Structure 1
Amino acid sequence: MAKKKSEWFDWLKALVIAVLLAFIVRTFLFAPIVVDGPSMYPNLHDGDHMIVNKLNYKISEPNRFDIVVFHATKQKDYIKRVIGLPGETVEIKNDTLYINGNAVAEPFLEQQKASLKKNERYTMDFSMSDIPGDFKVIPEDHLLVLGDNRNNSTDSRMLGYISYNQLVGNASMIYWPLDRFDMVND
């Protein structure tokens, strides 16, 4: 009888530890997210299930072209790509990204831009003056983010700059559907 009680107690301990570890991992390290909508197409698809690394931006700062998840509202998280970093100016003219006046390649959009017809644009022109808020440069501890599907994305052009405090983390991996299993931000 004592052996049976001990066995049940061991199982209960193991279950409590597993639940506690899952809570810690989900709260502080990694979290799942599902891509909702076409704003990151063609690189991310509506319905892609991803893992978000919540720890990365606690120990380092975002890099240009990272795919980040952030709190857009109290109820909704968005997933976008970091384009501009604090202290920079960003402009798009004739489908070319300019950071501080220098052209910067966007390799993740090359195929889409190559498939455009003559005089078609992948991204409508914009400059810092078109971003909500009256800033000459991206403010400290803020980012300018854009969706990869530039003509169908709610991003910094409408939302304004994204504060580091809004960041949930960076997208690390697509795990579902299995045929799209891949690491991102490489």
Structure 2
Amino acid sequence: MSDFQKELKSWIILIIVAFLISFVLRAYVIQPFRVQMTSMVATLEPNDLVLVEKITYRFSKPHRGDVVVFIPPNNPKDKYIKRVIGLPGETIYIKNDTVYIDGKPLKEPYLNSPMADMEPVKVPDGSVFVMGDNRSVSLDSRVFGPIKISSIIGRAILIYWPINHFQFLLAYSGENP
């Protein structure tokens, strides 16, 4: 085998290994997600690119304030991005533009729009209640109900594009009720 053939073979192997590593990382560890709609404005803008990590919820449960990507029950071919508001066993209702969890108000400084009142909803075990930050236009658990934790693809951790939106997405839990 000539030096050229050896070099070519090593490059082919390197490319195949890189492809396999990339595939495994994207399938099981981290993947990009493009924000499509305005339901998370001002936290996320349409066309923002975020990194979604897929490992955390294999070992722990979602926390209030986590921004998650999930498959919605009303449209199983799509992916939505929303904020976790209610946890299993909690009762959520909305009165006068305030979310109440088990009767206690939730502080949400990230909100930028009013929201309609909502009758109490108890979050079942194995589910969470999700809402967009731009409540006046968000299609969320107020419409399709709590989502199964198993439908969550992962937790959004970083806005990486456009570069002027670059920031880490930290969960804001408000005053934990």
TM-score, with normalisation over the residues of structure 1? 0.87
RMSD over aligned CA atoms reads 1.3
Q: 1:128 deviation in Å?
A: 2.5
Counterpart residue number, 1:133: none
Counterpart residue number, 2:174: none
How far does the alpha carbon of each residue in 1:122-159 deviate from its partner, in whole angstroms, 9 at most, with x for none? 11111235xxxxxxx21111010011111101000111
Letter in structure 1 aligned against 2:83? R
Counterpart residue number, 1:13: 13
CA distance in 1, matches of 2:133, 2:106: 15
Q: 1:7 deviation in Å?
A: 1.1
Match status 1:94 vs 2:89: no
Structure with the larger helix share: 1
**Structure 2 gap ranges (5+):** 172-177
Choose which of 107, 118, 126 in structure 2 pairs with 1:141: 126
Choose which of 115, 120, 127 in structure 1 pairs with 2:119: 127
Percent of residue pairs bearing the same amino acid type: 39
Letter in structure 2 aligned against 1:87? G
Q: How does 1:25-174 map to 2 (within 5 A)?
A: 25-72=25-72, 73-109=75-111, 112=112, 122-128=114-120, 137-174=122-159
Counterpart residue number, 2:170: 185
> Would you say how many aligned residue pairs link Structure 1 and Structure 2?
169
Counterpart residue number, 1:118: none
How far does the alpha carbon of each residue in 1:89-135 deviate from its partner, in whole angstroms, 9 at most, with x for none? 011111122111111211222xx36xxxxxxxx11111235xxxxxx
2:51–2:157 CA contact under 8 A, matched in 1: yes
Letter in structure 1 aligned against 2:149? Y
CA distance in 2, matches of 1:70, 1:100: 25
**Structure 1 gap ranges (5+):** 114-121, 130-136
CA distance in 2, matches of 1:74, 1:104: 30
Letter in structure 1 aligned against 2:107? A
Secondary structure at the counterpart of residue 50 of structure 1: strand
CA distance in 2, matches of 1:104, 1:154: 20
Secondary structure at the counterpart of residue 152 of structure 1: coil
Point out 4+ residue stretches in structure 1 off by more than 6 angstroms.
none
CA distance in 2, matches of 1:25, 1:59: 17
CA distance in 1, matches of 2:144, 2:91: 17
CA distance in 2, matches of 1:169, 1:127: 29
Secondary structure at the counterpart of residue 144 of structure 1: strand
Secondary structure at the counterpart of residue 123 of structure 2: coil
**Bigger CA drift: 79-88 or 4-13?**
4-13
Q: 1:30 deviation in Å?
A: 0.6
CA distance in 1, matches of 2:76, 2:2: 51
Q: 1:74 deviation in Å?
A: 2.8
TM-score, with normalisation over the residues of structure 2? 0.91
